[in-house]
Amino acid sequence: MGERITITTGDGSFEAYLARPGRSPAPAVVVIQEIFGVNQVMRDITDGLAAQGYLAVCPDLFWRIEPGIDITDQSEAEWKRAFELFNAFDVDAGVKDIAATIDAVRQRPDCTGKVGAVGFCLGGLLAFLTAARTNADASVAYYGVGIENRTAEAGKIARPLMLHIAEEDQFVPKEAQAAIRQALAGHPQVQIHTYPGRDHAFARMGGAHYHEGDARTAGERSVAFFKANLG
């Protein structure tokens, strides 16, 4: 279903995977990758959003380190490489690349001008920062790693944000979850959903902690959220 497009910034150009819906123009959703690059899981999510009626695009945010990273969570060597990429990644530059992607998609004739974002793992943190730093119309963060260290930016969130938090997340411990909930409590633009018994990446199909029921619930909540805020 998808194709490759090029996003150009002041720092250089990078590729993104684009999936078109059956309608045009359509609202758009930027899919923000995990630590495994724009892999099959991310492309499937992008295709799935297109099937729901959204112009979906997944930018290659690791391009500054190495363009075209496409690995899985299925081997020890790939996990090692993924954490190397995670540690080398410049979060602030990544948010700027997401902003550039939003701007590029918003200007397309097949986009209505409404653009949301959804991110997973590292992308969950980036989705939170997208809500705080960009003009995205609505953002969704799945089990974002490190949000507790960025809650000072919550005051800049002016458009709707949804968080999905796995209560047994090995990368977002209970103390971090409590800090996130406390910092965002009562924020008029933020809704938080927690999932008892779920570990990190419970929505990653084929992953060790995938849970079909809660993945479906989170997905339905996200699509309803985008429908309400993007159309």
Catalytic: which of 60, 164, 199, 200?
Answer: 200
Of 29, 10, 1, 11, whose CA–CA distance to 105 is shortest? 29
Place of tokens 């090029």: 6
* Alpha-carbon distances of 165 from 37, 89, 142, 201, rounded to whole Å: 22, 23, 7, 10
Structure token pair of residue 83: 């954490």
Give bridge partners of residue 72 from the DSSP assignment. Answer: none
CB atoms within 10 A of CB 11: 12
Is 169 annotated as catalytic? yes
Give yes or no for a contact between 184 and 192, defined as CB atoms under 8 angstroms apart: yes
Catalytic: which of 60, 97, 137, 169?
Answer: 169
User: Catalytic site residues?
Assistant: 169, 200
